[in-house]
A and B are shown apart, each in its own frame.
Chain A
Amino acid sequence: MNEKEGFFVNVYLLVGIGGFIGAMLRYGISVMTEMWWYGSFPAATLFANYAGCFLLPYVSCKMGSFVPTNVQKAITSGIIGSFTTFSAFSVETIALFESGKIAVGLLYLSLSITGGLLFVRLGEGRGNSK
């Protein structure tokens, strides 16, 4: 095995481990949310997506150049990428529409997109400031 292959194996394994952690955190949040949230509004997914949107640019900026590229990818693509989710977001929105809760569905959709973009900006701003 040459060096390039070694890198290949390494970064994929690291991203996988990141995904292992990120998915578990997301699930943990949804289980905890179910304990106090009974509404039809998908609060857990929204919260995870908001948090991930803030953390992705923030952590990328803070890691700078002193963290190895492999580890950076494990944290950004692995942990944060798996922590946030688009599939649940789509299915939840469609489920709200199909159950006749059009207003709640539209609220969820617009809050996700505008809030997501806002948190990405905030994360960038915070990450770049000392």
Chain B
Amino acid sequence: MIFVAIGGFFGAIARFWIGQRFNTSSFPFGTLFVNIIGAFLLGILIESGVEGDWMLFCGTGFLGAFTTFSTWMLEARKMEVGKAIFYVIITCGAGFFGAWLGL
């Protein structure tokens, strides 16, 4: 449990820092970036066979907190429909491709 929590501590800070820097324009590049990279890295992590406390720390904790679903959905909700569809598709497309590459 503590490994997940400490991973979450750092994952949230890393995501927040990237968000502050790159979510400034009209498009949330920061959220897009963390979700794609996070999905890719989690794929690699699982494929590499890491288990136990390291998996809880890096995977469930850090990468779980580094990526976010709620912010992504809320951002999509606030966009115009066409842009929101593009945002959802590009995140899923690139994120799934990343996870697939990693796995």
Please name all residues of chain A whose beta carbon is closer than 8 Å to the beta carbon of B6 when the two chains form the complex.
Answer: 20
Take A20-B8, A113-B88 as given contacts and tell me if A73 and B16 are in contact as well, using a CB distance cutoff of 8 Å. Answer: yes
A66 at the B interface (CB under 8 A): no
- The docked-state distance in angstroms from the alpha carbon of A57 to that of B71 is 9
Count how many pairs of residues, one from A and one from B, have CB atoms less than 8 Å apart in the complex: 174
Q: How large is the interface on B (under 10, 10 to 19, 20 to 34, 35 or more residues)?
A: 35 or more
Q: Are B4 and A24 in touch, CB under 8 angstroms?
A: yes
Chain B nearest CB: distance from A127 CB in Å?
A: 11
Decide if A19 touches B13 in the complex (CB within 8 Å): yes
Minimum CB distance partner of A119 in chain B: B73
The interface of chain A, by Cβ under 8 A from chain B, is: 12, 15-24, 26-28, 30, 49, 52-53, 55-57, 73, 77-78, 80-91, 93-95, 98, 109, 112-113, 116-117, 119-121, 124
Measured CB to CB, the residues of B under 8 A from A are 1, 4-13, 15-17, 19, 35, 38-39, 41-43, 46, 56, 59-61, 63-74, 76-77, 88, 91-92, 95-96, 98-100, 102-103
